[in-house]
Copies of this chain bind each other. A is one copy, B any other.
């Protein structure tokens, strides 16, 4: 995503400490205390402007959601949605996804969402893709034994790459859709991006996968 600088974004993030976690290491192992209720924890890595996360949180009050996004000018849009909604089950985290294990305890997370992640098409950027093996290792660590990775993209090459990466890690596919919008799937919540691309006729790919020791 090309980023435009958003004036006042930094200040806004600081001003809403109840929604934006400024010292995430301190909450490792006790994220439930940041929420009204102790209930399952789902996180989205690279949530962008947060539409998917906020919609999910509205529809599923029995789940706590943490949205992770590094870019100030983007996470602030998610914050604005949350200011409007004031959902008790949403927290936002501005950190680098490479350090997930500093912020979450072993097995602390019940589900990870990756939706329309940056494809980083160049080979030399492989390590930045959120389905690169190093990320999968950290997902495996922070996910509960019953935990799942939900991955959705319109980028064919990224999806091909990711399925290979999952197989090398021994992950097991629970669901797979090679053309999500022409499949029988209930209640698919679209991001801004998904809606735009789907309207153009692009295929959306989705899989739900888990690690072999679990399930």
Among the listed B156, B159, B172, which residue makes an inter-chain contact with A167, where contact means beta carbons less than 8 Å apart? B172
For A212, list chain B residues within 8 Å (CB): 170
For A167, list chain B residues within 8 Å (CB): 166-167, 171-173, 209
Q: What's the number of copies of this chain in the assembled complex?
A: 2
Q: A14 to chain B: closest CB distance in Å? A: 44
Check A163 against B176 for contact (C-beta < 8 Å). Answer: yes
Asked if A160 is an interface residue, CB under 8 A from chain B, the answer is: yes
For A27, list chain B residues within 8 Å (CB): none
Check B156 against A179 for contact (C-beta < 8 Å). Answer: yes
Q: A187 to chain B: closest CB distance in Å? A: 19
**Interface size class for chain A?**
20 to 34
Asked if A83 is an interface residue, CB under 8 A from chain B, the answer is: no
Asked if A189 is an interface residue, CB under 8 A from chain B, the answer is: no
- Write the A145-162 contact mask toward B (1 if CB under 8 angstroms, else 0): 000000000001001100
Q: A158 to chain B: closest CB distance in Å? A: 11
* With A170-B212, A212-B170: A178-B159 Cβ-Cβ less than 8 Å: yes
**Complex A-B: 10 CB contacts under 8 Å:** A160-B176, A160-B177, A160-B178, A163-B173, A164-B173, A164-B174, A166-B167, A167-B172, A168-B172, A168-B173
> Can you name the residue of chain B whose Cβ is closest to the Cβ of A169?
B172
- Write the A201-214 contact mask toward B (1 if CB under 8 angstroms, else 0): 00001000100100
> Can you name the residue of chain B whose Cβ is closest to the Cβ of A161?
B176
For A166, list chain B residues within 8 Å (CB): 167
